[in-house]
Chains A and B, each alone.
Chain A
Amino acid sequence: MAYVITDACVDILDRACTEECPVDCIYEGDRKMYINPVECIDCGACEQACPTGAALADRMLAGTDAEWNTADNAGFFTQALPGRETPLGIPGGATHLGAVGVDTETVAALPRT
């Protein structure tokens, strides 16, 4: 039960969502943003903010071609990212963490347009 930033964000990174998120749970990778599914309160503010329609509820993605993004958003926090030894876990706020600067392996491998 969380919102997810899909690959529609890749190489756009508008960041309007971060100005709206009331719990500061949208983290910046290198090519896209990622929502921490544990910290997300499912309010939907990011969906309204996103100019590219990349922020969607996980339940809306189920069964679509974009469904992989749900596990990928979670994986950004639960798996050690390239160049890091431990997962990000639950950082408790994106602002103080700053841009993470790397993506999940899946996103990093997406072709640039």
Chain B
Amino acid sequence: MTRCDVAVVGAGPAGLFAAVYAGMRGLSVAVVDALPEPGGQITALYPEKLIRDVAGFPAVKGRDLVRALVEQLGRFSPRMLLGHRATTLDDLADGRLRLGFDDGAELEAGAVVVTGGIGTFSPRKLPCGEEFLGRGLTYFVRDPAELAGSRVLVVGGGDSALDWAETLQHSADVTLVHRRDSFRAHQHTVGQVLAGPATVRTNATVECLDGDARVTRATLRDTVSGETTEVPCDHVVAALGFVANPGPLLQWGLATHDRKIVVDAAMRTSRPGVFAAGDICTYDGRVPLIAVGFGEAATAVNHAAVRLDPTASTFPGHSTDGPAPAARPVGVPA
């Protein structure tokens, strides 16, 4: 059983900053997310877009904002439980809480901050070839360098597919497959891909993937002529987008309004010890912005700190006062 002071459920911007604040308060923190990468909506929906409404950043690429938040969090040695879907939340006799995961793992925390955003993301699946997942088929590109020099099939017509095609086409042999005849991605990126070395197959769908230990080829079907062709490939990047569902997080008995978790001014939910921040929470007048989520995350964690230690102040002191206290090792109860 892993123990921590604060468990943050959701590794989007609000959750990552909540974890930073927990670290600044000297609390041990764990961050859990169903996605294998941090960043939540930013990573899933717009990693390459420029965000222009984060205080202090005139413009910051989504991916870079996530990277900076992870870096800011790093010195507090958080336990990162990515790729784990939190499914249950139980009260323990001593007032602590226990999160249960889809793989049977458990996490015990003194307080929980739910920063689940628009819900649990799952990649939209290819209609075929799922058996090659992790054996050439991937929904994420963790590091473009790993694909350098190989034959890569990128599937999709939106921003993420075109972003990957553009990023990879300079170091790999890229074929971009899209079922329609036009792309929905930013025109600038589409232009770069069309003018670049990538092979572009529009009006084509992936009929099946084949291979042995790993994927070696894909069969494409032309949606106009019906003809099929085989394309050799070492990697298939299925960038068909994501579907988010808040369902699981709304099963925890927290008071909700229009599928959002109701919080008070201290970001408390209806369950003791459970706080919420970011786009999953609601209150009169809430504006769904990253900037707002950051503030809510700080409010939630500072109130969680007082729940964990009633003699503490909600005000954490100024971050400029000196080095933050070292976080206790993760897994060691208070």
A92 to chain B, nearest CB (A): 7
CB of B45 within 8 A of CB of A43, answer yes
Number of interface residues of B (CB under 8 A): 22
Within 8 A of B (CB), among A1-28: 1, 16, 19-20, 22-24
Within 8 A of A (CB), among B268-288: 279, 288
Cβ of A41 within 8 Å of any chain B Cβ, yes or no, is: yes
User: Chain A, interface size: which category?
Assistant: 10 to 19
Within 8 A of B (CB), among A76-113: 90, 92-93
Within 8 A of B (CB), among A44-75: 45, 48-49, 51
Q: How far is the CA of A19 from the CA of B180 in the complex (A)?
A: 12
Interface of B is mostly: loop
- Given contacts A41-B244, A42-B288, A45-B158, list 18 more A-B pairs with CB under 8 A: A19-B124, A19-B241, A20-B184, A20-B241, A22-B45, A22-B121, A22-B244, A23-B244, A24-B245, A38-B258, A38-B259, A39-B259, A41-B279, A41-B288, A43-B45, A48-B185, A49-B184, A93-B245
Given contacts A16-B180, A43-B45, A49-B184, contact A23 B118 (CB under 8 A): yes
Cβ of B54 within 8 Å of any chain A Cβ, yes or no, is: no
Cβ of B74 within 8 Å of any chain A Cβ, yes or no, is: no
Chain B residues with CB under 8 A of A1: 288
CB of A22 within 8 A of CB of B184, answer no
Q: Which residues of A contact B (CB under 8 A)?
A: 1, 16, 19-20, 22-24, 38-39, 41-43, 45, 48-49, 51, 90, 92-93
Chain A residues with CB under 8 A of B182: 51
